[in-house]
Chains A and B, each alone.
Chain A
Amino acid sequence: MSTVKPECLSGKQLSKVFGLGKNAKAAVDGVNFSFAQGELISIVGESGSGKTTLAKMLLGLLNKTSGEIYYEGKLLDISTAAKKKAYWKGIQAIFQDPFSSFNVFNKIDTVLLDCINMRGCKNLSKPGKVAMMTEALRFVNLKYEELTNKYPFELSGGQMQRLMIARIFLLKPKILLADEPTSMIDACSRATILDMLLKLRDETQMTIIFITHDIGLAYYISDSVYIMEKGKFVEHGTADEVILNPKAAYTQRLINDVPKLNEPWDLSTVS
């Protein structure tokens, strides 16, 4: 990985302020970042540190207060619905709660067909579409024959989250924003989901932005880590640099707060 990868998404002095006048509170406070193509980036912080607000701004779900977002080197323009739709072909998201991510009235086939249509394969023959769905589901270790004609609520949480990844596999966006995708599923299925995300990145060179509060998980999965405290990035670097040699006091505290196996867990330092 010696060649410099092209920049995919970056931000300059990006801020989001909620409230007005003296109640104004900056949830994201002038952050600068640069994510390269094919990189797996983690954004780590406590609850309320502004991770999700940042994610929503990057997705265009929330208007920024000030600052600039650059997408593939160009200033991001999502001022009209058509432009926003075009941008969403390049960026997609997986959210925290798999149970509320699906339309309860749509069968799994419909969920996947929507993705195929969105990709511009609307005129494909039915067997062609079925083949695509089968391939996508096989990628996440699910079987099309078992899922066809079922509704999302018939699946377990882990299976639903895998179905979300199958959707991403069909859409093949340039950027995937994963907002705590594993916090609601157990440790065992978590390993499966993480391995699938890594496989997805390796096969499609997708940029994955992984938002989490679990620093151990961020260390395992990511190439580079951004640590967020109160709307600001306090530290960033490669995973090894940040986790094994943390410089910011906040990062050190986050690492100390995680229960570990080989070091005693110091409960006396509770703030």
Chain B
Amino acid sequence: MSKLILDVRDLTTKYITRQGEGVYAVDQVSLKLYEGRSLGIAGESGCGKSTLALSLMGYYFAPLHYMSGDIFLGDRNIPKMAPDEVRRKVLGTDIAYIPQAAMNALNPTRKIIDFIEDVILAHEPKTSKKDIFELATQRFTRLNLPQDALQKYPVELSGGMKQRVVIAISTILSPQVLIADEPSSALDVSSQKMVIRMLRDMMEMGMIKTMLFITHELPLLYNVTDDIMVMYAGQIVESGTAKEVVFDPLHPYARGLMDSILVPEEGTRQAILCAIPGTPPNLKDPPSGCRFAARCKYVAPECTANAQALNHFGQGRAYRCWRAQVQLRGYYTDEHS
């Protein structure tokens, strides 16, 4: 097994609303990121994917609060560090984050090179402008980005180019971990492909060591990442390699997600697209049993009684359901026959 970069154990964070209620958006999440391997997080809106990304960075600001758990990055434990220390010593240099709609985050009155100067000077205040320019040019050339983009204003670049430039800016210091939150969901298919190609090149060239990729587009996730975790209502409900999760999902929720896939391949038109009925539970007061029980086709009395832990089996596969694997597989084969 390759080197372990980020080790997250039982991380729990919550939002506190103005009324003082706690919303557990990330509940006992454990994950491991290895060098050269990427991990994808899937799930519908509101299931805690983006909050997980924020929590991993150790950047806790109200209304987000850290509750318990550890995030080990090398010999450091991020939640135990002061927020200011995290900002100076971890973000940008060890963990880089690309938020949703990152391309709209560029200040329209400044040139691209100015953003790069900001990033580098925040971490190494003594770097000369000439060195920064050289580093930026070199990085842009290696990533097949046009060098003249450095002297342009954000409005002069297309959406796909802006997104790639933002990724290049946030990884200019070669961080170990890149957290990409829906980096391509606002782009069309061709620009999306270019963004993904660039991310893969960055992994291969060692500019980033590992990547956490968040999206709700399963066909994309399957093609981009090595492993997939499915999140529901703040919890991990299934994990495994991309192939295992997409072609052999065990948890009924993961199974439901796979049924909403649309690809231009034979069979798509004949397939019955079945959306999972209902909406995720309100996390202010999550159900005490399985959180998916209210929407699950195979719900049984024991499901709503007690919470279920992750069942681990095989090599790194896990699912959170009361039913045994054999029983679940039986349901799915019955449906198709």
Contact = CB atoms under 8 A, between A and B. Distances in A.
B217 A263 contact: no
A187 B44 contact: yes
Contacts of A215: 189, 264
Contacts of A216: 219, 262-265, 268
Contact of A261 (B45, B192, B219, B256): B219
Interface string A192-231: 1011000000000000000001111111100000000000
Contacts of A218: 264
A265 B264 CA distance: 13
A213 B189 contact: yes
A265 B276 contact: no
B260 A214 contact: no
Contacts of B190: 46, 253-254, 257, 271
Given A47-B191, A257-B189, A190 B260 contact: yes
Contacts of A267: 193, 196-197, 200
A244 to B, nearest CB: 6
Interface string A259-271: 1111101010011
Interface residues of B, number: 44
B188 A213 contact: yes
A139 to B, nearest CB: 15
Interface string B260-301: 111111101101011110010000000000000000000000
A123 B183 CA distance: 51
B115 interface: no
Contacts of A192: 275
B267 to A, nearest CB: 9
Contacts of A190: 260, 262
Nearest to B273: A191
B193 A270 contact: yes
A192 B260 CA distance: 9
A258 B264 contact: yes
Contact of A220 (B45, B196, B217, B268): B268
Nearest to A251: B264
A240 interface: yes
Contacts of B220: 259
- Secondary structure class of chain B's binding surface, majority of residues: loop
Nearest to B216: A186
Nearest to B219: A259
Interface in B205-262: 216-220, 222-224, 246-247, 256-257, 259-262
A31 interface: no
A157 interface: yes
- Secondary structure class of chain A's binding surface, majority of residues: helix
Contact of A47 (B188, B200, B246): B188
Contacts of B218: 187
Contacts, number: 114
A189 interface: yes
B261 A187 contact: yes
A146 to B, nearest CB: 11
B276 A188 contact: yes
Contacts of B261: 187, 261
Nearest to A193: B275
Contact of B217 (A47, A157, A187, A254): A187
A220 to B, nearest CB: 5
Contact of A260 (B192, B194, B247, B263): B263
Nearest to A269: B193
A11 interface: no
B46 interface: yes
A188 B216 CA distance: 8
A227 to B, nearest CB: 12
Contact of B273 (A158, A220, A239, A258): A220
Given A188-B216, A188-B260, A262 B46 contact: no
B159 interface: yes
B269 A220 contact: yes
Contacts of A244: 266
Given A213-B189, A261-B263, A265-B223, A188 B275 contact: yes
B45 A158 contact: yes
A261 B273 contact: no
Interface of B: 44-46, 158-159, 187-194, 196-197, 200, 216-220, 222-224, 246-247, 256-257, 259-266, 268-269, 271, 273-276, 279
Given A195-B275, A215-B189, 9 more contacts: A157-B45, A185-B45, A187-B217, A188-B256, A219-B268, A254-B190, A259-B220, A261-B222, A261-B246
6 contacts: A187-B257, A189-B44, A191-B275, A216-B264, A220-B271, A259-B220
Q: Which A-B residue pairs are the 8 nearest by beta carbons? A: A191-B275, A259-B223, A216-B262, A186-B216, A257-B189, A265-B223, A188-B44, A213-B188
